[in-house]
Amino acid sequence: MAVSACFARTLRALSVTLRVSPQVARQLNAGSSYRSGRLPCLTPSACVHTGIIHCTNTPNITVTDEPDALYQTVDVLVKGHDRAVLDSYEFFATLAAQELGIPVRKVSEPKKKIERMTLLKSVHIFKKHRVQYEMRTHYRCIQLAHVTGSTAQAYLEYVQRNLPEGVAMEVTKTELVKIPEHILKPMWDIPPLEEQPSQ
């Protein structure tokens, strides 16, 4: 209950910072009683609430006439230094997708990348003595198919809010768009021209 209120309060504000698709079919207006000065500041890093929210009325969901966006695929690629953390995160993301009714097409693990560097061990001279470091980046790709815009917005915000520390995410969305009306027919009056033979 507290979680839903937290979402309700900051969903619209975060949609700008998280760069989610602007076509929102469902906007929500939290009750005006929540807009007090005691609310945490609206940046994603500071949004872990510590207080108890006393909410009695549920947020109002408005449905607009704007058509919902349709995404053929939503690819969520997570990158991290620890494979165990990514395993747990994958379990969380797939379970969340199943609960929300989003079909998970594929969960793959692209090959890890190791960046190695060889540096001088000492601040001054001693060229023969070096030290080697490496940075390992593990990947996990979760592909969701046939997601609507508002579902994608809710799911992605939920999943991004619970991203553990030290893990980065890239989301690639493939949206389905109709051919706009001005491309259906040419705007010039084309006289019926016969096919010219190759000359």
Partner 1 sequence: MAASTASTAVSSLCRKSHNLKGFQILNQVCTRMTYSTALSVKTGHSKKGFELGIRGPPSRRPKREGGEPRTEKMAEDQDWSSVYPTAAPFKYSAVPLPVRMGYPVKRGVPPDKRGNLELIKIPNFLHLTPAAIKKHCEALKTFCTDWPQALDSDDKCEEFFPIRVQSSDYVSAGTSLRNPKARVVTLTVKLSSLNLDEHARKKLIKLVGERYSKETDMLTLTTDRCPLRKQNYDYAMYLLTVLYHESWKTEVWENEKTRADMEEYSWEESRSQRNALDTLMRMRGGEGGGVDTGVVRADLLGSAEVQQYRDSVSRIKNEGESESSMLQYRDAVKKLLNLSPCDE
> Looking only at residues 81 through 100 of this chain, which bind partner 1 when binding is defined by CB under 8 A?
82, 84-85, 88-89, 92, 95-96, 99-100
Task: Considering the complex, state which of residue 110 and residue 166 has its C-beta at the smaller distance from partner 1.
Answer: 166
Map the footprint of partner 1 across residues 129-158, applying CB under 8 A. 146-151, 153-156, 158
Task: Using the rule CB under 8 A, give the single segment among 34-42, 109-117, 127-135, 170-178 that binds partner 1.
Answer: 170-178
Q: How far apart are CA 21 and CA 149, in angstroms?
A: 7
Give the SS3 label for residue 188: coil
Map the footprint of partner 1 across residues 47-66, applying CB under 8 A. 48-49, 61
Note whether 124 binds partner 1 by CB under 8 A: no
Q: Shortest Cβ distance from residue 115 to partner 1 (Å)?
A: 16
Q: How far apart are CA 169 and CA 142, in angstroms?
A: 11
Note whether 7 binds partner 1 by CB under 8 A: yes
Task: Considering the complex, state which of residue 124 and residue 165 has its C-beta at the smaller distance from partner 1.
Answer: 165
Q: How far apart are CA 172 and CA 170, in angstroms?
A: 7
Q: Which residue type occupies 59?
A: P
Q: Are 80 and 168 in contact (CB under 8 A)?
A: yes
Q: How far apart are CA 22 and CA 14, in angstroms?
A: 12
> Any idea which residue has 């980065």 for tokens?
168
